[in-house]
Amino acid sequence: MLDHIKNIVKEAEKQGYAVGAFNVHGLESILGVAQAAVEAKSPAIIQVSEGAIDYMGLKPVTHLVSTVAKNVATQVPIALHLDHGKKLDYVLGCINAGFSSVHIDASHLPLDENIALTKQVVEIAHNKDVWVQGEVGAIMGGHGDNGGKIEDIPIAELDEVIKFVKETGVDTIAAAVGTAHGVYDNEDILIDLLKSIKTATKIPFVLHGGSGVKVNKIEESIKNGVNIINICSDIKISFTDAVKKYCKDNPKDTDPRHLLGPGIEAVKNKAIEHMKILGSADKVKLANIKT
């Protein structure tokens, strides 16, 4: 079912687990994540980037996610979220389209400008009961990058994060704490920084760059205040690897369903793997759900 992100995150906070926010790139990955949520009895956040909106169109992707949530994930909650909204027209478009949460990513701007823009979005979004995620200390890397080391992972300043949350009134906060977008060998999570951010801000923390981070670090971060973990590269890579393999093994097959079907299955399996690590698997009690 389609649910507001606040219900999903509040339940995660109460029960002490994190919810996966999975980036989708088309119908196949939307289906894969929804099927994973059903099979794992887990809540999920389906998120789209501005690039995914360019590819699918805002209305089509909004309707695709809503209809898959309502008709495939009939008994598990799914929320729709904008990831890394950098342009105001995309952010406002998603608020008006019915997303229950948007990320305004102005982390590339000086702190005061980041605060001013984020505050503006918060005012508009809260009037429509939409949650806002803000970001401090730009998270770097490339979604889909796979392997090797990344240089100079930036780390957010604690006092800047605290000032940002206080002045903007955001509902969730993303900050650079040692991870990067992509799969790299040297990703880490600075647990002490995370703990300090959580203690001072008390709002749900969103960990970006969830692919490629060691499982024990993810588990430790959840114990210290992470409520949402963004997963993009693992979804992209599992989908693409499966489709490429099928094409290589079956060069004469021209049926798109045969080519793309393994991609749905691969996304589903990868999302289930993450749901188990995050502790969100088996948290939806089907008997309690009114349909």
- Contact footprint for ligand G3H (CB under 6 A): 23, 83-84, 143, 181-182, 208-212, 230-234
Nearer to ligand G3H by Cβ, of 121 and 228: the residue is: 228
Least spacing, CB of residue 141 vs Zn ion, in Å: 9
Q: What residues from 223 to 242 belong to the interface with Zn ion (CB under 5 A)?
A: 230
Pair 119, 212: CB distance under 8 Å: no
Is position 143 an interface residue for Zn ion (rule: CB under 5 A)? Answer: no
Nearer to ligand G3H by Cβ, of 172 and 233: the residue is: 233
Nearer to Zn ion by Cβ, of 108 and 245: the residue is: 108
Least spacing, CB of residue 286 vs ligand G3H, in Å: 29
Q: Please report, for the chain, how many H helices and E strands are present, in that order.
A: 11, 10
Q: Give the contact letters, 104-123, x = binds to Zn ion (CB under 5 A), - = no.
A: --------------------
Active-site residue numbers?
Answer: 83
Per DSSP, which regions of 9-77 are E strands? 19-23, 44-48
233 binds, among ligand G3H, Zn ion, none (CB under 5 to 8 A by kind): ligand G3H
Q: Give the contact letters, 205-224, x = binds to Zn ion (CB under 5 A), - = no.
A: ---x----------------
3-state SS, 97-142, equals HCCCEEEECCCCCCHHHHHHHHHHHHHHHHHCCCEEEEEECCCCEE
* Interaxial angle between packed helices 27-40 and 256-278, expressed in degrees from 0 to 180 and rounded to the nearest 10: 40
Least spacing, CB of residue 251 vs ligand G3H, in Å: 30
User: Going by C-beta distance under 8 Å and a sequence separation of 6 or more, which residues neighbour residue 125?
Assistant: 95, 102, 131, 132
Nearer to ligand G3H by Cβ, of 278 and 284: the residue is: 278
Burial class (CB in 10 A: 0-12, 13-18, 19+), 62: buried
Nearer to ligand G3H by Cβ, of 42 and 211: the residue is: 211
210 binds, among ligand G3H, Zn ion, none (CB under 5 to 8 A by kind): ligand G3H
182 binds, among ligand G3H, Zn ion, none (CB under 5 to 8 A by kind): ligand G3H
From CA 59, how far away is CA 62, in angstroms rounded?
5
From CA 130, how far away is CA 118, in angstroms rounded?
13
Q: Which of 167, 169, 194, 189 is nearest to 179 (CA)?
A: 189
Least spacing, CB of residue 21 vs Zn ion, in Å: 9
137 binds, among Zn ion, ligand G3H, none (CB under 5 to 8 A by kind): none
Largest Cα–Cα distance in the chain?
59
| Residue ranges in contact with Zn ion by CB under 5 A | 208, 230
